[in-house]
A and B are shown apart, each in its own frame.
Chain A
Amino acid sequence: MIDYRDELLERRLREISYVLLVGGGKGGVGKSLVAAVTSLLLARSGHKTGLLDLDLHGPSSIAILGVSDAPAETSEGVVPPRVEGVRVMSIDLLARGRPLPLSGSAKEEVVKEVLAVTAFGPLDYLVVDLPPGTGDELLSAAKYLRGRRGALVVTTASPLSLSASRRSIEILRGLGIEVLGLIENMAAAEGGSVVEKVAGDFGARFLGRIPYDGELEKLVGKSGAGRLLETCFSAALRRALLVAGLAL
Chain B
Amino acid sequence: MHEYVVASGIVGSVAKLAGSLGGRVKSFRVLVGELSMLDVGLVKELLRELSKDSPLSGAAISVEVERALIRCDSCGAEMSFGEAVEGLGEEERESIHFVPELVSSFARCRGCGSPALRVVAGRGVKIVDVVVTGGG
Interface residues of chain A, those whose CB is within 8 Å of chain B, are: 1-8, 11, 73-78, 91, 94-96, 98-103, 106, 109-110, 113-114, 116-117, 119
Contacts and interface: CB of A to CB of B under 8 A. Distances in A.
A21 to B, nearest CB: 21
Nearest to B128: A1
Contacts, number: 95
A4 B9 contact: yes
A7 B99 contact: no
Interface string B1-25: 1101110111011101100000000
Nearest to B2: A73
B contact residues, range: 35 or more
Contacts of B105: 95, 98-101
A5 B99 CA distance: 12
Contact of A96 (B2, B4, B12, B95): B95
A155 B106 CA distance: 34
Report which residue of B115, B116, B124 has the largest number of chain A beta carbons within 10 angstroms of its beta carbon.
Answer: B124
A99 B105 CA distance: 6
B98 A2 contact: no
Contacts of A74: 1
Contact of A103 (B6, B16, B118, B126): B118
B127 A109 contact: no
A7 B5 contact: no
A73 B125 CA distance: 18
A94 B102 CA distance: 8
A117 B128 CA distance: 21
Contacts of A103: 73, 118
B91 interface: yes
B65 interface: no
B101 A7 contact: no
A95 B6 CA distance: 21
A4 B98 contact: no
Given A2-B127, A98-B106, A117 B16 contact: no
A106 B13 contact: no
B87 to A, nearest CB: 14
Contacts of A77: 2, 5
Given A73-B2, A116-B9, A117-B5, A4 B125 contact: yes
